[in-house]
Amino acid sequence: DAGVTQSPTHLIKTRGQHVTLRCSPISGHKSVSWYQQVLGQGPQFIFQYYEKEERGRGNFPDRFSARQFPNYSSELNVNALLLGDSALYLCASSLWSGSGFKTEAFFGQGTRLTVV
């Protein structure tokens, strides 16, 4: 069974552009979370989606948005890119109920975004 897959693996964008990152969870996992990891720091929570609804949002500006599709895959969108958005963007899938995680989170390899 495939693990969590993210695309693209690397991306270079110019300031002010828009970017879309994609994530496919492990089969059977209905929860997808997005994290931003800046070099030298731990991942920071951006969003959690479950059953196509946003269930949690981290302290990120409105330029960041996401959605989850009926097949539970997810997209993370970032508008008006800034140099500071350069980071590794990680997607994690898990079994999750309304009261919390039922399994550990399984992470994709990440998308490394460079904004120039």
Partner 1 sequence: KNEVEQSPQNLTAQEGEFITINCSYSVGISALHWLQQHPGGGIVSLFMLSSGKKKHGRLIATINIQEKHSSLHITASHPRDSAVYICGVQGAQKLVFGQGTRLTINP
Chain centroid to Cα 55, Å, comes to: 14
Report, in Å, the least distance between residue 16 CB and partner 1: 25
Report, in Å, the least distance between residue 50 CB and partner 1: 8
- Taking contact as CB under 8 A, which single stretch among the options 15-23, 52-60, 61-69, 70-78 is the one that binds partner 1? 52-60
Among 22, 30, 52, 55, binds partner 1 (CB under 8 A): 55
The backbone torsions φ and ψ at residue 82, rounded to the nearest 5 degrees and listed phi first, read: -115, 160
Identify the sign of the CA torsion 86, 42, 28, 64. negative
Nearer to partner 1, 80 or 113 (CB): 113
Q: What part of residues 27-46 is at the interface with partner 1 (CB under 8 A)?
A: 33, 35, 37, 40-45
Under the binding rule (CB under 8 A), the answer on residue 11 touching partner 1 is: no
The residues, any chain, with a CB within 8 Å of residue 46's CB and separated by 6 or more, are: 33, 34, 35, 36, 57, 58, 60, 64, 66, 76
CA distances from 35 to 9, 66, 107 (A): 15, 12, 10
Of 56, 42, 26, nearest in space to 88 by CA: 42
Under the binding rule (CB under 8 A), the answer on residue 64 touching partner 1 is: no
Under the binding rule (CB under 8 A), the answer on residue 56 touching partner 1 is: yes
Interface ranges with partner 1 (CB under 8 A)? 33, 35, 37, 40-45, 48, 55-56, 58, 88, 90, 92, 99-101, 103-107, 109-110, 112
